[in-house]
Amino acid sequence: MSTRVVLDRSDIARALTRIAHEILERNKGPGDVLVLGIPTRGVPLATRVAATMTSVEGVEVPAGALDITMYRDDLRLQPARALARTEIPPRGVDDAVVVLVDDVLFSGRTIRAALDALNDVGRPRAVQLAVLVDRGHRQLPIRADFVGKNLPTSLTETVQVRLQEYDGVDSVAISAGRG
């Protein structure tokens, strides 16, 4: 099985910095923006993007986490999953511009679940989506507002995102599928 690194540490850092700037530009500043990462690796990405926005603007941009496990549409197909933490910043999501952050955008089903989960937490003014990698093969009418890198892949390939916070290293790699 061959593995190819497509983004290294500095590539990822540059991509996240660009996304932070794009979010600020799109929303005309940090006002009402709330960044929610989707566990597991969306959460540190959200924290990093929010930190960049905070340092650029000098205004605290709140970040949090939104677990979507209980909203997944494949719960009956897999062994029960452990839940991850949902942490909504104290201001809440009502009337906020919520930027959802995930590592890889693929079928779109995770984002569908995240929209449902968000709906049960409150009513944002708008929801936007930022992803580190968009590898295509959408199964739902969902697209990202902010993309770190578009990565055309085959369905048999696997995209693996590693982050310092969990894996001790920042990288994005593609592996050829087995068989």
Partner 1 sequence: MKSHLLSTGDLTKGDALRVLDTAAELRSLADRPIKKLPTLRGRTVVNLFFEDSTRTRISFEAAAKRLSADVINFSAKGSSVSKGESLKDTALTLEAMGADAVVIRHGSSGAPHRLASSGWVRSSVINAGDGTHEHPTQALLDAFTMRRHLGDLDGRRVAIVGDVLHSRVARSNALLLSTLGAEVTLVAPPTLLPVGVSSWPVATSYDLDAALEKTDVVMMLRVQRERMNAAFFPSAREYSRRYGLDDRRFARLPDHAIVMHPGPMNRGMEIAANVADSHRSVIVEQVTNGVAVRMAVLYLLLSGADTTEHAAGEPTA
Q: Is 91 one of the binding residues for partner 1 (CB under 8 A)?
A: no
Which backbone phi and psi does 50 adopt, to 5 degrees?
-65, -35
Residue with Cβ nearer partner 1 (57 or 136): 136
Question: Contact at 8 Å (CB) between 153 and 136?
Answer: yes
For the bound state, the minimum distance from the C-beta of residue 133 to partner 1, rounded and expressed in Å, comes to 10
Q: Which stretch binds partner 1 (CB under 8 A): 10-18, 57-65, 104-112, 163-171?
A: 104-112
Distance CA 173, CA 2 (A): 10
* Contact residue for partner 1 among 1, 2, 78, 179 (CB under 8 A): 78
Q: Is 1 one of the binding residues for partner 1 (CB under 8 A)?
A: no
* Interacting residues of 103 by C-beta distance below 8 A, sequence separation 6+: 41, 42, 45, 131, 132, 133, 161, 163
For the bound state, the minimum distance from the C-beta of residue 36 to partner 1, rounded and expressed in Å, comes to 15
* Contact residue for partner 1 among 5, 70, 140, 169 (CB under 8 A): 70
Could you give the dihedral angle defined by the CA atoms of residues 140, 26, 150 and 162, in that order, rounded to the nearest 10 degrees?
-100
Q: Which stretch binds partner 1 (CB under 8 A): 4-12, 22-30, 117-125, 168-176?
A: 117-125
Site for partner 1 in 49-68 (CB under 8 A): 67
Q: Is 122 one of the binding residues for partner 1 (CB under 8 A)?
A: yes
Helices (H) and strands (E) in the chain, counts: 4, 8
Please identify which residue in the block is written with the tokens 């029960």: 80
